[in-house]
Amino acid sequence: MTKKDLISAVQADFNESLTKKQVGNIIEALFDSMAGAIKSEGRYSQSGFGTFSVKTRAARTGRNPQSGEEIMIPESKSVGFKPAPELKKAAN
């Protein structure tokens, strides 16, 4: 599903009483708020959907695929997602 598809689906849920631009602004604000919560608190949880949380990958040794030389890959952070049990059941 693309952002455009999401906007159309949400607009249809409101019987098209909102414009696509209004729905797009709402969705943008929602994702900005979620990103802000993840950034400041390290996690965002939505009951029935799941939890987004910051995960830290330890520094590790890797290899340059062209030269085969060992390189040090620094510690990095990414966002992980753990689905709620309801979402897992719905996916099956």
Confidence of residue 91 (pLDDT cuts 50, 70, 90): confident
Tell me whether strands 76-83 and 70-73 are parallel, antiparallel or unpaired: unpaired
Q: What is the pLDDT of residue 46?
A: 94
Task: Tell me: pLDDT of 79 over 90.
Answer: yes
How distant, in Å, are the alpha carbons of 6, 20, 36, 77, 84 from that of 1?
A: 7, 16, 23, 26, 20
User: CATH homologous superfamily of domain 53-92?
Assistant: IHF-like DNA-binding proteins (4.10.520.10)
Alpha carbons 42 and 64: distance in angstroms, whole number:
32
pLDDT in tens, 12-41: 998 888 999 999 999 999 999 999 999 999
Task: Tell me: pLDDT of 92 over 90.
Answer: no
Assigned token pair, 65: 């695929």
The whole-angstrom distance between residue 9's C-alpha and the CA centroid of its chain comes to 19
Q: What is the pLDDT of residue 9?
A: 93
- Per-domain residue ranges of the chain: 1-41, 53-92
Q: What is the pLDDT of residue 14?
A: 86
